[in-house]
Amino acid sequence: MKVLLVDDEESIRVLLGGLLSDLGCDVSLASDGEEAVEKLVAGKIDLVVSDVYMPIMDGRQLHRAMRFDPQYQELPFLFMSGFRDEYVKRAVEHPHYEGFYQKGESVSGFIDLVRALGDPTKTDRCQSD
């Protein structure tokens, strides 16, 4: 499975990107929503994992832009954040989002969400060792 991981914090991109790679995912990294859009256009993506708060284009704006484009309306989208404020709540109450990972919680929970959003009919989805 090809996962686009979007977060403005390099440490999160390295940690979660490495974890996904170790699980067998093909991971593409972006530091904000604008960069994520460029990567979406450049190649096939099976899942987007995005932070809510980011500069330039945040996760809510990225999600909104994707849902307005018919090409990306059905692409699974997993929000994540280290915050639990109203802005994050509004992001995850949208009827067209697929999941939310609270940063700092169990990494196994993150893995479970990624696997659940992956297409089980694909042979190249993230696998356990």
Averaged over successive runs of 10 residues, the pLDDT of the chain (129 residues) comes to 95 93 94 95 91 88 91 89 63 64 83 80 46
Tell me which residue range forms the domain holding 53: 2-117
The residues that bridge with 99 in the sheet, in sequence order, are 78
Give me the pLDDT at residue 119, please. 59
Give me the pLDDT at residue 101, please. 77
Give me the pLDDT at residue 128, please. 41
CA distances from 122 to 23, 27, 50, 98 (A): 15, 16, 22, 18
Give me the pLDDT at residue 125, please. 46
Give me the pLDDT at residue 84, please. 66
13 in a structural domain: yes
Burial class of 103 by CB neighbour count within 10 A (0 to 12, 13 to 18, 19+): middle
Give me the pLDDT at residue 106, please. 84
48 in a structural domain: yes
Give me the pLDDT at residue 46, please. 94
**Distance spanning both ends of the chain, measured CA to CA:** 15
Return the CATH number at 80.
Answer: 3.40.50.2300
Question: How far is Cα of residue 61 from the mean position of the Cα atoms in its chain?
Answer: 13
Give me the pLDDT at residue 85, please. 61
CA distances from 92 to 1, 2, 86, 121 (A): 23, 23, 10, 27
Q: For residue 6, which of 45, 58, 67 has the smallest C-alpha distance? A: 58
Domain count within the chain: 1
